[in-house]
Amino acid sequence: MLHLGGCSAQDLIADFGSPLHVYDEAGLRAQAQRFVQGLRQRWPNSEVLFASKSFPVPAMYRLAQEEGVSIDVAGAGELLLAIRAGCDPSRIYFHGNAKTDEELELALEHRVSTIIVDNFDEISRLERLLTRPQQVLIRLIPDIDADTDAAIQTGGSTSKFGLPYDQALRAVARMEAHPMFDVVGVHVHIGSQIFNTAQLAEAVRKAAALGSFPIYNVGGGLGVKYALGQSAPGVEEYLDAITDEARQHLPADAKLIIEPGRSLVARSGVTLYQVVSVKHTGRHFVAIDGGLADQLDISVAGEPHEVIAANRMNDLAADVVDVVGRQCESGDVFARDARLPGMQIGDVVAYTGSGAYSYTTSNNYNGALRPAIVFVGAGHARLVTRRETFDELLALHLYEEGHPNE
Ligand SMILES: *Cc1c(COP(=O)(O)O)cnc(C)c1O
């Protein structure tokens, strides 16, 4: 039987239902420390931010803060989750390429540490809204086409995020001329699931090229290993690459900030499912009780993850099957040609490495409900996010008279 944090996969499903996102709390904390300590050893004046879009739930916001990791939010919703989780606003960084007046007002009201300014319209908004000095970074388009899926490239010349050099310099000059902007530096982020540490390091040089500032925030993007056959750079290799570059190009007393999301949380999370049906038609199918509603990336990015027969770990993996989800899309496939023991109804399947962007992108396709989330450790499981209910699904809508939405 597969155990997670000392809890058996089958017991977890029996206690909390299926599908279920399970996070190894010690793993999350250890990875946070690897980033915080690792960066501090190499560049003492540094700060690690959790790119919270990768796992935006209050238990994680709190854990990040407890581990000395500050918070990056994009938009009012993430800001409110972080505040409600008890995060200190003076350690919250506010991102977004289309921040509205309402969001900026909310960020200012909560006195977030830093706003990462994306464009001139945002500067106009802030010129109107600022009533006290506000620390800001300018988001630069570094013009790096990262070796990753086009959907998660963010730093190429055609990126929708930030401004190219000439405009970024004009933006800085305009803000510096205004008494309420405190322009402290530059931000770049070149994309996600990047395995090439040289490109991540190049981002440091590109940021440095904008000029001399107190702060350089070089984003996130470090890739993670999802399938057994893959290899990904370690956190230390990544930190070596960016701090070597920083030593060559940044002012010696500058602060270096990084914003890992995926690489902080992906591998501490597993999603458990139960088998609903097994059939042998054109192919051998094992269908489970979830799908792209809770793992959107299986159809979008097509990242190969490992699937494990959690309650049959010692059985011979003699079958070759496709593990498929229950949403009405043919791309709703968790694994093709997976080697598993002969699966039966009720067996538990673990979908590994699902800790990043799964909950983020979960949706109600086919009326699916967002799964619950538990943190496990030392043989104990605690619910941190409860399962969505059909009542909640129904309650959003207005119904014809005579069909009260009670
Ligand atoms: C998404 C994002 C990150 C994190 O990216 P990962 O690939 O999850 O590490 C960091 N910074 C910004 C601005 C982002 O948009």
Counting from 1 in the atom list of ligand 1, the atom nearest the Cα of 95 is 13
pLDDT at 243 over 70: yes
- Ligand 1 pocket check for 219: Cβ under 6 Å: yes
Counting from 1 in the atom list of ligand 1, the atom nearest the Cα of 262 is 8
Pocket test for ligand 1, best of 50, 53, 195 (most atoms within 8 A of CB): 53
Told to judge if 328 belongs to the known catalytic residues of this protein, a careful annotator would answer yes
Q: Is 262 part of any known ligand binding site?
A: yes
**pLDDT for the residue 300:** 67
CA pair distance 268, 27, nearest whole angstrom: 6
Amino acid at site 94: F
**pLDDT for the residue 405:** 58
DSSP codes joined into one string, 179-240: TTEEEEEEE---BSSB--HHHHHHHHHHHHTT---SEEE----B----STT-----HHHHHH
Contact between 290 and 362 under an 8 Å Cβ cutoff? The reply is no
pLDDT at 137 over 70: yes
Mean residue pLDDT of the chain comes to: 95
**pLDDT for the residue 303:** 72
With helix as H, strand as E and coil as C, how does 137-155 read? EEEECCCCCCCCCHHHECC
Q: Is 261 part of any known ligand binding site?
A: yes
2-31: per-residue pLDDT in tens? 999 999 999 999 999 999 999 999 999 999
254-294: per-residue pLDDT in tens? 999 999 999 999 999 999 999 999 999 999 999 999 999 99
**pLDDT for the residue 339:** 96
pLDDT at 302 over 80: no
Amino acid at site 255: K
**pLDDT for the residue 406:** 53
For residue 63, give both structure tokens: 């854990």
54-82: per-residue pLDDT in tens? 999 999 999 999 999 999 999 999 999 99
**pLDDT for the residue 404:** 58
Neighbour count for residue 171 (Cβ, 10 Å) = 24
- Ligand 1 pocket check for 122: Cβ under 6 Å: no
1, 173, 198, 328: which one is catalytic? Answer: 328
d(CA 261, ligand 1 centre) in Å: 6
Set out the domains of the chain in order of their start, with CATH numbers: 3-22+267-395 (2.40.37.10), 43-260 (3.20.20.10)
pLDDT confidence band for 150 (50 / 70 / 90): confident
Query: Which of 116-120, 300-304, 393-397 comes out lowest in average pLDDT?
Result: 300-304
In sequence order, which residues have a C-beta less than 8 Å from that of residue 63 and are 6 or more positions away? 25, 28, 29, 32
